[in-house]
Amino acid sequence: MKIKPAKWLFLPLEIKVRELESKVLLSCCAAESGFCTIIGPNGFNLKKDLPNGVYFDKCISPNKLEFLREQKIECNNKIVCLDEEGLVHQKDHYIRERTSIQTIKLTDKLFCWGDDQCHLLQCEYNNEKDKFLSTGSPRVDVWASSDRRSVVDQADALKNKYGEYILFPSNFSAVNNANGDDFILRQYKSYGLINEKEEEQFLRDRLSYQRDIFEGFKAMIFDTCQEFKHINFVVRMHPGDNMTFWQNFAEKIPNLFCSYEGSLLAAIKGSILVIHNNCTSAIEGFYAHHPVIAYNPIEKDSRFEHNLPNRMSIQTYNIADLHEKITDLINGKIQFHRDEFIDLINNHIIHHDRELASDRIAKALHSLEIECATLCTDNYISNEKSIFSRFKRQLIKFFNIDFNLHMTRDYKRQKNPGICISEIECLISDYKTFYKRFGNISVFELGTNQFLIYPHHLVDN
């Protein structure tokens, strides 16, 4: 297949369950506006056999400086970013760990979840303030469409499997990591985010705080499963979790199960209610009109508390209070009043029913000076299957690690177990039905975990 001259958008995907749905939706909106989009693993375009275009990264952390320079200078791409972790954060260490003046200068546009994040960045980088735009996130577009057929079907499948269940989303991969409990400390050192003893001590204190919450959360799960033996409970494991820990933990409790199937949104929609601590699931629950409880097992430390999730939940601080709230919610004695959180959410998230964040971003991309270029997919596929590429994959598989970050292959597989074209086709079909648009959009498989989403009129027959 040959693509006529077009503008190109490159969307790297790191965590499948977090990003695939939103990036396919963004690709559809971009394609409708005239872009051709390729979704693939991080840095998939560095082979330099693709046209110049826009590289849309998930963060511009200081450790990515050389990578971003390569995208900008050697690949001649525009760089834009919407930080996947820009919504739920602690302000002080968000700036230091997720941005730098050097990476900001390399970035052409930085899209923000809402006014809170945009204002934070503009105040910190005032000389670059015109680069920051409050557009909202395609992930919120996805959360706000929880009545889509695919989400309902996944939720029904979970209910058929587990019956009526209460959901515990895990948010503890920092202290229960698939790469070992000390992985975060090693990672920060590897990324150069710890340069002084005070910075290392701050991180150790933060991890200690999260570990105390984790211990309290585990105890709560055990007690709550014992108290409500007539109800099933499901731990929704985090992509970075040591999943074996949770599986062994659940084996000891008859009405506790572990799940990593489908989307978190579907798991929320299928549940009776959600119990979390500082987890994005609270915000997804808000958009799904679902009751959410935050359980706080220890005294809060403002240095480490995130800006949003617990504040958007029914707050509980001990087991007795939690169990009372669970009982009252199930029996209808109290309601989850989401209207109380409207002002809070509007300050942090730009979302309008009349216009998708994905469309706002697509419009903003057209303001960049991008040259149109053609692509012959046959040539790209032959390059992707080169002898060097096959040898590199086999070498990494043999050693079972990522040489840069010392990540186990199992950990990388949890984050992105692979994508098949039928998954993307189903999502596009789902969006066509729900939004009543995208009728001229299709997908083509370029290679392993790499997909071209394009409008029909740009195919050169």
- What are the start-end ranges of the E strands in 214-331? 232-236, 256-259, 274-276, 292-295, 314-316
The beta-carbon contacts of 285-292 under 8 Å, at least 24 apart in sequence, are 286/312, 286/338, 286/341, 286/345, 287/140, 287/143, 287/144, 287/146, 288/143, 288/146, 289/146, 289/338, 290/336, 291/329, 291/335, 291/336, 292/336
CB 460 within 8 A of CB 3: yes
* pTM (two decimals): 0.93
40 contacts 49 by C-beta, under 8 angstroms: no
One digit per residue, the tens of pLDDT, for the chain of length 461 reads 999 999 999 999 999 999 999 999 999 999 999 999 999 998 898 876 899 999 999 999 999 999 999 999 999 999 999 999 999 988 878 999 999 999 999 999 999 999 999 999 999 999 999 999 999 999 999 999 999 999 999 999 999 999 999 999 999 999 999 999 899 999 999 888 888 899 999 999 999 999 999 999 999 999 999 999 999 999 999 999 999 999 999 999 999 999 999 999 999 999 999 999 999 999 999 999 999 999 999 999 988 988 899 999 999 999 999 999 999 999 999 888 888 999 999 999 999 888 999 999 999 999 999 999 999 988 776 444 544 554 554 444 444 444 445 677 778 889 999 999 999 999 999 999 999 999 999 999 999 999 999 999 999 87
R_g (Cα) of the chain, nearest Å: 22
**Tokens 């706000």 belong to residue:** 144
425, 451, 461 from 441: Cα distances, Å: 10, 13, 16
What domains are there in the chain, each with its CATH number? 2-140+350-458 (3.40.50), 147-342 (3.40.50.2000)
Residue of 49, 139, 163, 39 whose CA lies nearest to 419: 39
Specify the DSSP class assigned to residue 415.
H
DSSP 195-242: -SHHHHHHHHHHHHHHHHHHHHHHHHHHHHHHHTTTSEEEEE--TTB-
Beta pairing class for 232-236 and 165-169:
parallel
Tokens of 419: 């994508």
Beta bridge partners of 260: none
How many angstroms separate the CA atoms of 132 and 315, rounded? Answer: 33
Give the pLDDT score at 48: 66
The amino acid that residue 142 corresponds to is V
Q: Is the dihedral of CA 111, 438, 286, 355 positive or negative?
A: positive
Check residue 413 and give its pLDDT. Answer: 86
Q: How far apart are CA 58 and CA 87, in angstroms?
A: 12
Q: Does residue 6 sit in helix, strand or coil? A: strand
Residue with tokens 């992707």: 384
